[in-house]
Structure 1
Amino acid sequence: MVLNSGDAPTRGATTDPVALARGFNHLDPAIAATAYETLGAIRRGCPVARSEELDGFVLVTGYGEIREAAHAPERFSAYVDGLGAAAVVTEMREAVAPMFETDEEHHHQWRRALMDFFTSAAAAAQEQYVRAICRETLQELIPHGAADLVGGYTQQVPPLVIGRVLGLAEMERAWLSEHVRALYGAETLTEARQIGRVYADFLLGQIRERRAHPGSDLLSRMVTVEVDGRTADEDELVKMTMLMVAAGHLTTVDACATAILQLLEDSALRERVAGDAGLLGSFVEELVRYEPAVAATGRTVTAATHLGGMPLSPGDRLLLAWGSANRDERHFADGDVFRLDRERTRTPHLGWGAGEHRCLGRHLARVELRVMLDELLRAVPDFRLQPHATVRRTFGVIRGVAALPAQWSRR
C-alpha cells in the first residue's frame, strides 16, 4: 500500500519562505503532495508574501491576515481574475460572479433570498433522505467486496441531495446525478461541453416549468425572486443553478473522501467515532479545520492598503489559503495534528470561510458528511485500502482525493 497523504517532505527543496512563496502555484498538481508542509513554512516566515506564478499574486497564509481580508470587502473584493473559482470554471464567470465573486448588494440580495433553504433546521430535515440514499448506494457496493469509494460512494450522494433541495422529482434527481458525475469526470473539453449542453437544456426545462408553475422549492425561489428590481433571465438562472449544484457537489464529495482517508490512516480514530453520532459530529468539524475542501480562494485589492505589513496597490490579487490559516500556530495549538478532542475556542476555524462569503451550505454539508460516514462505518466496518493502492491527493481551489480503491469482507 502506498499512501500519498500530502505532508511528506521533499528532499532537496528550499526551506526559505520567501523563495517558497515566490514559486508557489496552487493550481500545479505537483503541489498536492506537500501542500501544507510548504504553506506552513511560508506562513511561519512571511504570512503575506508574493508569488511570481500565475502572472503574480500575493499569497496569504496566516489566520489573522486571512480573517482581516475576508472581513474587509471594501479593501479586498471577492472579484478576482484567475485565482479563485473562476480559475477552474472560466467559461462560467457570469455565473460565478453573483454568489461567489461579488461584494455588492446584488450578492447580499441573492444570499438573503436563498438562506431559508440552508438553515440548520432545513439541513436537519434532509437527514432521513440522506441516510436512505447512503444505505441504498452501499447496498449495491457491499456484495462486490471492493470499490472506489470516491466514484462508487462519495460522488453518488451529494448531487441527489442538492437535487432534492432544488425541488427535482426522484427520476430527475437520478438524471441530474448521472450527468453531473459525467460532466466532472469528462476526460476532454469537447466531451465536457457536449455533456454541459445537455445538462443546460435539462435545467432550462426545469426553470421554465417553475416559471409557469412555481412551487416552494429552491429553484422556484431562484426563478421568482427579484434581485436589483428584476427576476433573473434564463441564461443567468441556468448558470447559477449549475454553480449551486457544483457548490453542493464538489466540496462535499472531496470533504467526504478526505474524511474516509483520515479514517483509513487512523484505525484507533475509526474505532472511536464508529456508531457515536456526537463524536462523528466533532470528527467532521475537526476535519473541516484540518483539511477544508475549499483550500484557497481569491480577492482583489481595490484601494491602497496594507496587510500583514505588506503594502498593497489596487489591482493586486490575493490568494487566501484557508487550510493554512487553520493550522496557524499563533492561534491553534498543534494545528498540524488532527485532534478529535480539540476544544472549540473563541478562535473559530476558517474551514467554512469567513465574512460575507462564508459557506451558505455549511449546515447541509455537516449533515451529509456525518451521515455518509456513519452509514459507511455501519455497512463495511472493516473497509481498508486495496493492497498496493496509491492514493493521490489533489490541491488547488478544492482539496480532495482522486480515488479511494478500498476493499472489505464480503457479507
Structure 2
Amino acid sequence: MDLAWSFSHLDPTIAETAYETLGAIRRGCPVSRSGELGGFVLVTGYDEIREAARAADRFSAYVDGLGAAAVVAEMREVVAPMFETDEAHHHQWRRLLQDFFTPQAAAAQEQYVRAVCRETLQELISHGAADLIRAYTRQVPPLVIGRVLGLTELERAWLSEHVRALYGAKTLTEAKQVGRMYADFLLERIHERRAHPTGDLLSAMVTAEVDGRAADDDELVKMTMLLVAAGHLTTADACATAILQLVEEPAMRERVSADPTALEAFVEELVRYEPAVAATGRTVTTETRLGGMPLSPGDRLLLAWGSANRDERVFDDGDIFRLDRERTTPQHLGWGSGEHRCLGRHLARVELRVMLTELLSALPGFRLQPGAEVRRTFGVIRGVASLPVQWERR
C-alpha cells in the first residue's frame, strides 16, 4: 500500500522496474490512492481498468494533467473532440473518422510504409552504426500519419521534423517555441481545408458537424496534435521496444525473421506485454465505486494498461513474453478497451510489421554497441530512450 501512495508514472527512476512496482501495488490493492501529481487514483487491475474504460457514464476521458492531456499541456483548457469526449459526442466523431482507419485503409498504406522504411534504412547501411530510435523508429511514423491526414510530401517532411523536435526538446522554452510553430503549421492546413476540402482525413475533421456545430480552430489543432502524437509516439516507441526485445532474445529474433506468421504473433504479444500507451487518465463524474473504493466527482484515475495485462487473476503467466499465447479470451488491453479503444490499431499493426521486417532484412546482424546501456522510459508512453547498435558495413 505504501508503494501506491508514493507512485508517479512520470518519475523516471521507476522506468526499469515499473511493472514489478505496479505488480506489487496491484497485488496489494488494484485500486489505490497516490499523493503524487496533486493526488490521483491508481488503477492496476484488469477488471477494474476494463470497467473504468467501459463506463463512460461514470468516468470521463477528459482529465486535467494526466494521460493524453499531458502530451499537449499547453492546450490543457481546450477539450479535443473525440479524444477527450464521451458517449454520443465521441461516437459521432469516431463514426466520421473511422473509414480512414479500417483494416482496408491500413493495408492501403503498406506500400508507402515499406518505401519510407527502405529509403530510411538505405541511408544507414553504409554507416555501420546508429541510434535506431533517432535514425529509424522516430523517422517513419510521423511521415505515415502525415500521409493519412492528407498532407503533401513536403508538408509531411516539415511535420516529421517539427514533431520530433517538439517531443525531443531539452527545455520548456524550446518546447514552447517549436510547439507554437507546429500549432501555426496545423492551423494553416486547417484553414486551407476549411476553404477547399479535399476529402482527406483533415478535411473530414474540419468539415464535420457534431451536435449541430463544427469544431473551432483550437479544438481542431489540439485534436490533430493528439492524432499525430497517437500515430507517431506510440508506434515509434512500440517499434523501439520490439527491437530491444529481439536484441535480447536472439532465438526469437531468428524465428520472427524467418516466419511472417511468427512476426504477427510477436507484434500482438508485444502490445500485451509492453503496451506503448502505458497510462491514460479518466475523471470521475458521479458518486461511484471501483474495486471497492468509494469515488467522488472530480477524482482523477490513472489506468495502468500494462499492469492489467499482467494481472495474475486473469493471466497465469502475464509476466512472460510468449509467442504462442492464445489470442482468444481473455483479451489483452494493450489497445485499450471501451469506446476509446485505439482507433489506429490496424495501421499500427501494419507499421510495426513492416518496420520490423525491413529492419531485419536490411541490417540482419545488428547488435548493441559495446558498452551500450539501454534505458527504458515510462510515463504516458512506454519506450526506450536510445538504441545504439552496430552492424557490418556493406
| Same structural fold, with TM-score higher than 0.5 when normalized by the shorter chain | yes
1:397 maps to which residue? 380
1:71 maps to which residue? 54
Partner SS for 1:410: coil
Structure 2 residues without counterparts, runs of 5 or longer: none
2:115 maps to which residue? 132
- Establish whether residue 234 from structure 1 lines up as the match of residue 217 from structure 2: yes
Deviates more, 1:245-254 or 1:105-114: 105-114
TM-score, scaled relative to structure 2: 0.97
- Establish whether residue 55 from structure 1 lines up as the match of residue 12 from structure 2: no
Partner SS for 2:311: coil
1:321 maps to which residue? 304
Q: Distance in 1 between matches of 2:23 and 2:102?
A: 34
**Kept in 2: contact 1:59–1:318 (CA 8 A):** yes
Deviates more, 1:185-194 or 1:346-355: 185-194
> 1:95: Cα distance to partner?
5.1
Q: Distance in 2 between matches of 1:215 and 1:54?
A: 43
**Kept in 2: contact 1:275–1:378 (CA 8 A):** no
TM-score, scaled relative to structure 1: 0.93
Query: Which consecutive aligned stretches of 4+ in structure 1 deviate over 6 angstroms post-superposition?
Result: none
- Establish whether residue 34 from structure 1 lines up as the match of residue 17 from structure 2: yes
2:196 maps to which residue? 213
Q: Distance in 2 between matches of 1:208 and 1:76?
A: 34
Pairing 1:226-305 to 2, within 5 Å after superposition:
226-305=209-288
Percent identity between matched residues is 81
- Would the alpha carbon gap of residues 96 and 399 (structure 1) be closer, same or farther in structure 2, given more than 3 Å must change? farther
**Kept in 1: contact 2:367–2:391 (CA 8 A):** yes
1:65-88 C-alpha deviation (Å, 9 max, x unpaired)? 111111111122222222222134
Q: Distance in 2 between matches of 1:228 and 1:247?
A: 25
Q: Distance in 1 between matches of 2:161 and 2:80?
A: 26
> 1:314: Cα distance to partner?
2.2
Deviates more, 1:288-297 or 1:237-246: 237-246
1:365-391 C-alpha deviation (Å, 9 max, x unpaired)? 010001000000001111111011111
> 1:30: Cα distance to partner?
0.8
1:111 to 94, 112, 116: 94
Pairing 1:375-386 to 2, within 5 Å after superposition:
375-386=358-369
Q: Distance in 2 between matches of 1:102 and 1:94?
A: 13
- Establish whether residue 363 from structure 1 lines up as the match of residue 354 from structure 2: no
> 1:276: Cα distance to partner?
2.1
2:161 maps to which residue? 178
- Would the alpha carbon gap of residues 168 and 97 (structure 1) be closer, same or farther in structure 2, given more than 3 Å must change? closer
> 1:158: Cα distance to partner?
0.4
Pairing 1:148-187 to 2, within 5 Å after superposition:
148-187=131-170
Deviates more, 1:155-164 or 1:75-84: 75-84
**Kept in 2: contact 1:63–1:326 (CA 8 A):** yes
**Kept in 2: contact 1:259–1:287 (CA 8 A):** yes
Structure 1 residues without counterparts, runs of 5 or longer: 1-17
1:22-72 C-alpha deviation (Å, 9 max, x unpaired)? 111111111101100011111112111121212222111110111111111
Q: Distance in 1 between matches of 2:23 and 2:168?
A: 32
RMSD, matched Cα: 1.4
Q: Distance in 2 between matches of 1:278 and 1:95?
A: 43
**Kept in 1: contact 2:65–2:76 (CA 8 A):** no
